[in-house]
Structure 1
Amino acid sequence: MIQHLKQFLNNTHLIKRIQYVLIAMFVLLIALDVYLAVDSIDNNTISSIIKNNTDNGFFVLTYFWGAIAANLFFTTRRLKLVSPTVGTIILVAFALIIIVFNIGELVTDFMEDHYYGIYRYAISMALGSVVGLLFWRQEGKAV
């Protein structure tokens, strides 16, 4: 049963179909965001909603976006540093550290004091990407 499931999930046709669905979803999401940006209602775009939620203390959202992006777009081609379970624990531990120590507010205050307000999201996403690249990536085919 497990062998059939692995064979089904590793099927190249299935993987291509999933990639096409993900690409279509990204294009649809961007098109919807542009459509909402040009209508007459203010702050109803997907980007605005995410920005408003991160401004309200959910700094960890952009951290997870970075980790997910690293997982989706960069596969491992060599031996992983840690097992997938340990990598997930490390990813969540960093998120908890961000929440518990209120790192988002500290970074926001520092960036706004130095007039770099927009870069606070880049820092959070970069941290998520680095943690995702080092500890939490899917496996690719060995080269």
Structure 2
Amino acid sequence: MIKSIQQFLNNTQLIKRIQYFLIAMFVLLIALDVYLAVDTIDNNTISSIIKNNTDNGLFVLTYFWGAVAANLFFTTRGVKLVSPTVGTIILFSIALIIIVFNLGKLVTDFMEDHYYGIYRYSISMVFGIAVGLLFWRQEGKAV
């Protein structure tokens, strides 16, 4: 039973269909965001909703965006550092630390106190990409 499920999930045709579906959803999401940006209602785009939620203290969202980007766009062909389960546990443990210790506020306060002009969420995104690259990447079967 498990072997047949593994064969089904490792089928190259299925993987290509899922990749094409994800690309189509990404293009549709961008088109919808552009459409909402040109209508007469203010602050109703997907980008502004995500920005408003991250500005309200959900600093961990950009961390997850970085980890997902590393997983989707930087595949690995060599030996992974840790197993996928351990990598997922590490990813979510770091997110929990970000939430519990309110690292978003600490980073924001530090940036404002030192007058750094860098966008404060880029730090969280880069950190998410780094964690994703080290611990949470998929196997390298690209389109």
CA distance in 1: counterparts of 2:20 and 2:112, whole angstroms: 40
**Gaps in structure 2 of 5+ consecutive residues:** none
| Structure 2 equivalent of residue 24 of structure 1 | 24
- Residue 112 of structure 1 deviates from its aligned partner by 3.3
1:65 partner letter? W
Task: Tell me the CA shift for residue 115 of structure 1.
Answer: 5.0
Shift of 1:57: 0.5
CA–CA separation in structure 2 for the residues paired with 1:123 and 1:115: 12
Displacement, 1:110?
2.5
Q: Secondary structure at the match of 1:22?
A: helix
Aligned residues: 140
Deviation per residue, 1:29-88 (Å, 9 max, x gap): 000000000111111000000000000000000100110111111122111111112111
| TM-score normalized by the length of structure 1 | 0.92
Match of 1:77 in 2: 77
**d(CA) in 1 for partners of 2:70, 2:27:** 19
Q: Say which is worse superposed, 104-113 or 47-56, in terms of deviation.
A: 104-113
RMSD: 1.3
Aligned-partner Cα distance in 1 for 2:45–2:109: 25
Matched, 1:66 2:66: yes
Partner residue of 1:37?
37
Secondary structure of the 2:139 match is coil
Q: CA deviation at 1:119?
A: 1.3
Q: Moved runs in structure 1, 4+ residues, more than 2 A?
A: 109-113
For 2:28 and 2:136, locate their aligned partners in 1 and report how far apart those are by CA, in whole Å: 27
User: Partners in 2 of 1:20 and 1:129 — Cα distance?
Assistant: 23
The unaligned stretches of length 5 or more in structure 1 are none
Amino acid corresponding to residue 28 of structure 1 in structure 2: L
% identical aligned pairs? 84
Single out whichever of 45-54 and 67-76 deviates more from structure 2: 67-76
Distance 2:40 2:110 in 1: 34
